[in-house]
Structure 1
């Protein structure tokens, strides 16, 4: 502001805003000091990223502790995050996808028996699917579903720690048990398995 009103003395400006000249100078130099510290931090971040391009803010903050102490810079992790965000220096996290479908396997591949089949009532066609729950940073639980293709109702499920086909078959057993022994015997179900999936024609 002083540069915009250079014809007015500093004492008059301070009087207008009700502050002392000491407070003005203190605020001015604190701003300059903060800018210098932020520039130092940004430069150090860039230096670290030369060898660690994908390093995140949390790990970066830990690595920078000796540097911050050496230069007497007080900056918490949240402040570092804000500074990196303002300067477009945050690293985007890569989404790790769990593969639950494998089309390139050594198992026998069966013909698609349901390609032209359209169910007209419940319990004519069941299909399976698998999803997963992340329970910690390194482990997952897999849940196999058996769904009625006509009503879209889940008729069987099974939770397991692996993607083995036997786990999906457990979900099928649950669905057949719910259907009833008599209905299952009369239906002569055709079961088609491929990798981790199952299709059942109850015709």
Structure 2
């Protein structure tokens, strides 16, 4: 920072430094020989004869109040500050390209005085976000069912491959612990759990008002999944936020899956699909023994057959 001294005949102020005139070396803010106060109090001089035109960089408009035309005017204190910072930086860059050396703070002050603000883009209306309504939890961590097709639990997990991630959605019957429906895809949009639910319903045996319990993931709170629940005449159940215990049956099955097939990164998604289909359809549903309180060690498929035989009335 460089300061000019007054002539010897002039009175000195501030330790021999002239406090009213600045050199053009002071960050390019002033004009040599012009008072700082006169520059700050002037309405728009110092940036050219048509400063408002120069301040209107692309995306910058002027209007009454300035706040209505600016981005983030209703976006909170932090977003408004970020938008104002972006506007003044862009305006200063446009002025510097036009040969006007001004500071960032001065640009901000002049924009505020003359109501110059950032434009709001194409002016397209933003659709309001509809609040998500979560379903109740009639299961309440009671992961038992007296008969098949009465209660299901579902969740989504992922397997990592060299080609990318493969997502798996499941529907597990709480009476038999059989994976009644499953689906795989390279995404976890709502159609993935919907496909698993349709597979479970297509195998038959689901009762009216069957409860489908899941977590509060976006796949299960969307309209597509809820429409499928209503179409199949089922009821939806959701656990609490950040509580894996409310969906412990599905979470424990995923832990079993990854413990038995391993978490090795496979080469392709097709290899992962083949491993999952073999494990779910053959090794787990048809071969893995589980202890049933009434029938001893049986497979999930045998459990479903035995429970249906017990529920069949005698001739």
TM class, shorter-length: 0.3 to 0.5
Compute the TM-score of the two structures, normalised by the length of structure 1. 0.38
The structure whose Rg is larger is 2
Compute the TM-score of the two structures, normalised by the length of structure 2. 0.26
Higher RCO structure (Cα 8 Å, ≥6 apart): 1
